[in-house]
C-alpha cells in the first residue's frame, strides 16, 4: 500500500515535470554579442628580487575572525541523489554562450536552502566540458518553468567536477558549468537577477569512487532553491 502510493506520487511528479518541460521546448536560444579580444601588447620585463627571507620565528597564533561575522548556514539534508551513467553523447558540446553578469549585492541572504524540490533535475556534463547537452536540456527547462511560476524564488546553481583535472582548473570548470546552466535558464526567460552560481570544483563528489561511473555522477550542476518564504514550500 505504502509502496504503491509512493510510486503513484513519483509517476505524477515525473509527468508534471515532463509537461512543464514540453511547454517551454519552443523557446529559442538568443544569440549573444561577443566582445572581440584586442590585439597583443608587449609584456613588462621581469627584474630580480632580493633573495627570500625566512619568516620571523615565533608561534602562529590566533583564530579570531575580526571584521567579519560569517553566519552559520542552515541545516539541509544531504543530497547525493542516485546518479545515472550517461551515454557518450556528443550533442550540444562547446556551444558558445555569452556572459551575463551575476546579480550584484546580497543574494538570497536569510533564506533557507531547499535542495529537495529540484533534486530530480541534476544536470550532467561530458568530461572536461561545460556545455549543456541536449539530453540535459529538458531538466533545465523544467527548472526554468518552476522559476517562472515562482517569481519570488531565487536559485543557486552549483557546479561540480570529477577529480580528473587539477584543482585550479576544476574550480574554474565547475563555475563554467554552473554559468552555462544559468545562461540556459536565462535563455528560457528566467530573470538574470534570480540566478547565482557557485563552484565546488572537485570538493563535493556525489560518488567518491575512482571509476568512470562515479566520475560521470560527479560532473554535474545541482539546483538549490531559495524560496521567498521557506514555510510556503513543499
Contacting residue, 197, 216, 221, 225, with another protein by CB under 8 A: 197
Task: For residue 175, state whether it binds another protein (rule: CB under 8 A).
Answer: yes
Q: What DSSP string describes 60-107?
A: ------TT--PPPPPP---------PPP---TTTT------PPPPS--
Contacting residue, 31, 39, 82, 87, with another protein by CB under 8 A: 39
Which span (1-9, 20-28, 69-77, 83-91) binds another protein, by CB under 8 A?
69-77
Give me 208's grid cell: 567518491
Give dist(CA 52, CA 221) in Å, integer: 43
Contacting residue, 26, 28, 31, 55, with another protein by CB under 8 A: 55
Task: For residue 26, state whether it binds another protein (rule: CB under 8 A).
Answer: no
Contacting residue, 199, 220, 221, 227, with another protein by CB under 8 A: 199
Contacting residue, 64, 82, 87, 88, with another protein by CB under 8 A: 64
Of the pair 20, 131, the CB lying nearest another protein is at 131
Task: For residue 37, state whether it binds another protein (rule: CB under 8 A).
Answer: yes
Minimum gap (Å) between residue 125 Cβ and another protein: 13
Give dist(CA 180, CA 41) in Å, integer: 30
Scan for cell 557546479, then name that residue: 159
Count of CB atoms situated within 10 Å of the CB of 12: 10
- Residues of the chain by 3-state class (helix, strand, coil), percent to 5: 30, 10, 60
Give dist(CA 190, CA 162) in Å, integer: 28
Minimum gap (Å) between residue 76 Cβ and another protein: 7
Amino acid at each position: 500500500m505504502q509502496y504503491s502510493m509512493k510510486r503513484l506520487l513519483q509517476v505524477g511528479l515525473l509527468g508534471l515535470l515532463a509537461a512543464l518541460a514540453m511547454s517551454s521546448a519552443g523557446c529559442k536560444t538568443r544569440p549573444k554579442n561577443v566582445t572581440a579580444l584586442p590585439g597583443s601588447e608587449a609584456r613588462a620585463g621581469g627584474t630580480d628580487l632580493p633573495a627570500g627571507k625566512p619568516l620571523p620565528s615565533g608561534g602562529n597564533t590566533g583564530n579570531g575572525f575580526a571584521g567579519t561575522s560569517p553566519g552559520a548556514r542552515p541545516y539541509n539534508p544531504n543530497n547525493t541523489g542516485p546518479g545515472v551513467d550517461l551515454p557518450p553523447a556528443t550533442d550540444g558540446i562547446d556551444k558558445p554562450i555569452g556572459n551575463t553578469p551575476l546579480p550584484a549585492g546580497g543574494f538570497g541572504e536569510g533564506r533557507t536552502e531547499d535542495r529537495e524540490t529540484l533534486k530530480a533535475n541534476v544536470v550532467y556534463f561530458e568530461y572536461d566540458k561545460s556545455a549543456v547537452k541536449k539530453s540535459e536540456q529538458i531538466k533545465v527547462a523544467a527548472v526554468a518553468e518552476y522559476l517562472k511560476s515562482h517569481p519570488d524564488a531565487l536559485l543557486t546553481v552549483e557546479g561540480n567536477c570529477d577529480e580528473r583535472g587539477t584543482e585550479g582548473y576544476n574550480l574554474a570548470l565547475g563555475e563554467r558549468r554552473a554559468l552555462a546552466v544559468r545562461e540556459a535558464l536565462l535563455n528560457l526567460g528566467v530573470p538574470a537577477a534570480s540566478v547565482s552560481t557557485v563552484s565546488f570544483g572537485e570538493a563535493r563528489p556525489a560518488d567518491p569512487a575512482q571509476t568512470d561511473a562515479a566520475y560521470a555522477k560527479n560532473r554535474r550542476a545541482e539546483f538549490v532553491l531559495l524560496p521567498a518564504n521557506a514555510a510556503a514550500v513543499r
